[in-house]
Structure 1
Amino acid sequence: MSDFRVLGLDIGGTGTRALLATSDGERLGSGTAAGGNPSAHGAEVAAARVAEALGAALAGSDPTAVRACVVGLAGVSKYAAEPHTAEVFGRIWRDAGLTCPVQVVSDVAVAYAAGTARPAGSILLAGTGAVAAEVRGREPVRIHDGYGWLLGDDGSGFWIGRQAVRATLAAIDGRAAPTELADLVLEWYFEVLPETDTAGTASVEPGLDRAERRVAAALVQEVVNRPPVALAGLAPLVMRACAAGDPVAEEIVRRAGGMLVATLSRTRPAASDTPIVLAGAILGASTPVHDLVVKEIAERWSRAEVAVSRDGAAGAAWLAALPQLSDGDAEALHRRLVAG
């Protein structure tokens, strides 16, 4: 296999990664930046973040030596439907000095490729958002959910974070007992609660309706003053509280896992033995939701291999190299670049 260079980008709602690699699996450069989803952040802001990650990956390298580039983009529908967004992103590739073709695909496609070299299977992705898809020929063909924070993304990091705030408000106003999760959420938003001396829910004495209302109002204001997707940042707090035995967090995790498995079930029959790739911050690491989903998968699809996608940029780089590789070379590169 003759050596050549490829570039892969994985652009999500909360993070962007870029990887420059060779076709024999050597990593030459990488870069990271904040989320570059144009639907969530707008074309100009998203493009600036993508350019930051791309520039870091290409630092010290000749961009004209890159033979192919694949970009996995959350919000690819906006990219495809809006000429302005496509033009703004096209300017990134030109300014970076790339002369090779740049293929923009769904972030789901690169996440699947980062989990398995097999061309057909299913993927369940839960990060800021949530989506499941049947994959054929390494392309998502039957997609479920992924409708965004306002209308869908059941079981996602955003959904989990929103449930955490709702549970905290219930603890503040007395509809539910104070829990560790409520304390963690308040500590995340405040160093000191309004009109109180400490940051825990225990500082709000029973019957102090005005104090409770001040705390609740301040929490609501903090949430609405930030971008909606910022609620996904609370998901790790829910995982932490769940691991500590907090019953409210356990219930949120149970509901999230159930929603995600239900979405996945729409992409595959009960008897399917094709691989299942789990991806995203909620499922790509050993979290309580991940563990629950894996257990449910084992019960429903006992013959299916379950793989975890941890590096979408590597999956994108592998897809960029794929058309120029034999089957044997493609599998070898996947082991070195993605699985390794």
Structure 2
Amino acid sequence: MITALLAIDVGGSTSRATLVDMAGNCLGQGRNRGGNPGSNPPAEAAAAIIAAAQAAAAAAGGPLDIKVALLAIAGPRNAEMQRRLDEAFRAMGLSGPLVFDGDTNAMLPSVTAALDGYCIFAGTGSGAVRVRIGEIEAVADAAGYLVGDLGSGYWLGHHAAIAVTAALEGRGPKTALTRAVLDTLGIPITDDRAFDGRPAPLRLFIDAIYKMRPIELAKFAPLVIANREDPIAAALLAQSERYLLDDFRLIFDPAMRGPVVLGGSVAAHLTGLPTAIAEVLSAAGHEPDIRLTGDPSVGAAVLALRHQGVTVDDAMLKHIAASMAARATKVSA
């Protein structure tokens, strides 16, 4: 019987499951599509998470005695999804609790053993949190794409779509985003008119957008980043930086130094954000300590180990990360 902890990092686009032992050795890994119940139907979200966990269990071998299954997950809680997960994990060997934690709580321990700090993230969603003694103490935004996530990948993609619509109608400025977005959707730029009198490319674009789930607009965010020299794209990225800086200011406690961890596929491209954050820290009398997030699976594993009473110091954190990297390299070889 193999004693293990199951740690799962669940995002809007990818779910990553890892089995570790009490010493932080990686026993198995698996991944599947996104399992965020806020951007995926609960049954599909549960299925993705379960598939990732089953792949990790298959890699680890068995039989397994899983002391805890901890999910670092974005999105709202869903009772039906939780029931499905609990049932599947019990079948895999879960003997302990099923624990839900915020995906943002896995950011800080992905790069540091410090229990106090700040996390600013902009991926599909966005926001900022203050972490004290390993627990989230304050949150700004991270409210989901319907009522928040300002400056996120969804926000960038949504506003790119708005800009393209305006440009095609002639009520907004021309932008390089038009060709970039239409090419991605396989829509040719022509002078033809559609049945409703609109430019044909615009009619096709509108139809394509409404066939997508709203959260899928985030797929246009990389196009905004790739065309950052375009005035419209540049303005969107600048606004994204302002939103994230405002989030940080809301949760910043001048009495707490940091570090500050930046995470998410969009945050890495907000090139002015680290400087702006450093200015806030310096004004409070702190030496800026700003880092990019590490593997969120590492952070989720640390949370699972802490849940079992294991103290994770910097040396153990490095060991966990190295063990996961070695396992990933072995699998891909």
Q: What range describes the TM-score normalised by the shorter chain of this pair?
A: 0.7 to 0.9
Residue 74 of structure 1, CA deviation: 1.0
Closer/same/farther in 2, CA of residues 175 and 91 from structure 1, 3 Å limit: same
* 2:316 maps to 1:333: yes
Alpha-carbon spacing, 1:317–1:63, altered in 2? closer, same or farther (3 Å): farther
What is the identity, as a one-letter code, of the residue corresponding to 1:50?
A: I
Q: CA deviation at 1:246?
A: 1.4
Against the structure 1 CA distance between its residues 102 and 210, is the aligned structure 2 distance closer, same or farther, given a 3 Å change threshold?
A: closer
- C-alpha distance in 2, partners of 1:331/1:163? 41
CA contact (8 A) 1:114 1:315 kept: yes
Deviation at 1:114, TM superposition (A): 1.4
Preserved contact between residue 67 and residue 94 of structure 2 (Cα < 8 Å): no
Match of 1:6 in 2: 5
Counterpart secondary structure, 2:6:
strand
**Equivalent-residue separation in structure 2 for 1:260 and 1:63 (angstroms):** 45
Matched, 1:142 2:142: no
For 2:278, the equivalent position in structure 1 comes to 298
Q: Matched residue of 1:168: which SS?
A: helix
What SS class does the counterpart of residue 117 from structure 1 fall into? coil
Deviation at 1:292, TM superposition (A): 1.9
Q: Which amino acid aligns with 1:35?
A: G
SS in 2 for 1:59: helix
Task: Show the counterpart of 1:196.
Answer: none
CA apart distance, 1:325: 6.1
**Residues 5, 69 of structure 2: 8 Å contact kept:** yes
Superposition pairs of residues 1-340 of structure 1, within 5 angstroms: 5-60=4-59, 61-62=61-62, 64-75=64-75, 77-79=76-78, 83-190=79-186, 193=187, 199-200=188-189, 203-204=190-191, 213-242=199-228, 245-270=229-254, 272-283=256-267, 286-287=268-269, 289=270, 291-302=271-282, 303-323=287-307, 327=311, 330-338=313-321
Conserved 8 A contact 2:7-2:300: yes
Q: CA deviation at 1:42?
A: 2.3
Q: For residues 176 and 39 of structure 1, do their structure 2 counterparts lie closer, same or farther at Cα, with a shift above 3 Å needed?
A: closer
* Identity in percent: 28
For the residue of structure 1 that corresponds to 2:137, the secondary structure is strand
- Evaluate the alpha carbon distance shift between residue 208 and residue 324 of structure 1 in structure 2; reply closer, same or farther with a 3 A threshold: closer
How far off its partner does 1:308 sit? Answer: 1.9
Structure 1 residue matching 2:77: 3-state secondary structure:
helix
Structure 1 stretch displaced more, 5-14 or 229-238: 5-14
Report the more deviating stretch, 308-317 or 210-219: 210-219
Deviation per CA, 1:295-337: give whole Å up to 9, x if none: 211222132311222322211111211255665x533211222
Q: CA deviation at 1:33?
A: 1.0
**Structure 2: distance between partners of 1:265 and 1:252:** 20
Q: What residue identity is the alignment partner of 1:294?
A: P
Measured at CA, do residues 271 and 171 of structure 1 come closer, stay the same or move farther in structure 2, by a change above 3 Å? farther
Provide TM-score, normalisation by structure 1.
0.85
In the alignment, the residues of structure 2 paired with residue 138 and residue 186 of structure 1 have an alpha-carbon distance, to the nearest angstrom, of: 45
Give SS of 1:78's match: coil
Distance in 2 of aligned mates of 1:63 and 1:122: 39
Given residue 99 of structure 1, which amino acid in structure 2 is its aligned partner? S
- Which secondary structure does the structure 2 equivalent of 1:91 belong to? helix
Structure 1 unaligned runs (5+)?
A: 194-198
Q: Which amino acid aligns with 2:15?
A: T
What's the CA shift string for 1:229-279, capped at 9, x where partnerless?
00111111111011xx21111111000111111111101135642111112
Which piece of structure 1 moves more, 123-132 or 210-219?
Answer: 210-219
Number of residue-to-residue matches in the alignment: 317
Letter in 1 for 2:50: A
Distance in 2 (CA, whole Å) between partners of 1:36 and 1:264 is 27
Which digits, 9 at most, give the CA deviation of each residue in 1:53-103, with x for residues without a partner? Answer: 11111114225243333211112x423xxx333212212312323223332
How far has the Cα of 1:34 moved from its partner? 1.0
The normalised TM-score by structure 2 is: 0.86
SS in 2 for 1:38: coil
CA contact (8 A) 1:161 1:233 kept: yes
